[in-house]
Amino acid sequence: MKRLPLLSAFGLLLALGCAREQPAPAADGTPAAGLHGQVTYGQGDCMPVINEALRSYQLYTGELYFIRKAELDQLGTGSLDQLKGASLHYPVLNGQLAVNPPADTYVVMPANLYLYTSANTVRLTSGQGVQQNFKFWKCLVY
């Protein structure tokens, strides 16, 4: 009978030790170090061109990949799949993004989409917080 309270106490300590608290924003409202924002995702026809305002986006849940821009720029005829697979990636739940990758410039992509634009490029500086939202659209029909 003494094992049950001991196991419960161990489980509680383990859960508390593994919990990650998100850093609070500074008093002036700037985000804590790292990247914070909201990620939305939608998919549908791209032909004829659909007015951006008429597209429907949902909060994204899935893996978000951070590919170093310098490596992507030098990829040439290499495999984007291999580069993406070897890149940093973080889970996103209900569109909430709060990560702290190493300082660098990254192209951010969801798991099932290959998109390289300035809108999904972010520059992170060590110790600085960046607030940036990402909106992704996957074309199903061209």
Model confidence, pTM: 0.74
CATH 2.40.128 fits 32-141, yes or no: no
- State residue 131 phi and psi, 5-degree precision: -105, 115
Amino acid 32: pLDDT: 66
Rounded CA-CA distance 63/61 in Å is: 7
**Taking CA 91 as the corner, what is the angle to CA 86 and CA 94, rounded to the nearest 5 degrees?**
150
Alpha helices in the chain (DSSP H): 3-18, 69-73, 80-85
Q: Which of 61, 136, 137, 65 is nearest to 99 (CA)?
A: 65
One digit per residue, the tens of pLDDT, for the chain of length 142 reads 454 444 444 443 333 333 333 444 444 455 568 999 999 999 988 887 777 888 899 999 999 999 999 999 999 888 999 999 999 999 999 999 999 999 999 999 999 888 888 899 999 999 899 999 999 999 888 6
Domain residue spans of the chain = 32-141
Q: Give the pLDDT score at 28.
A: 47
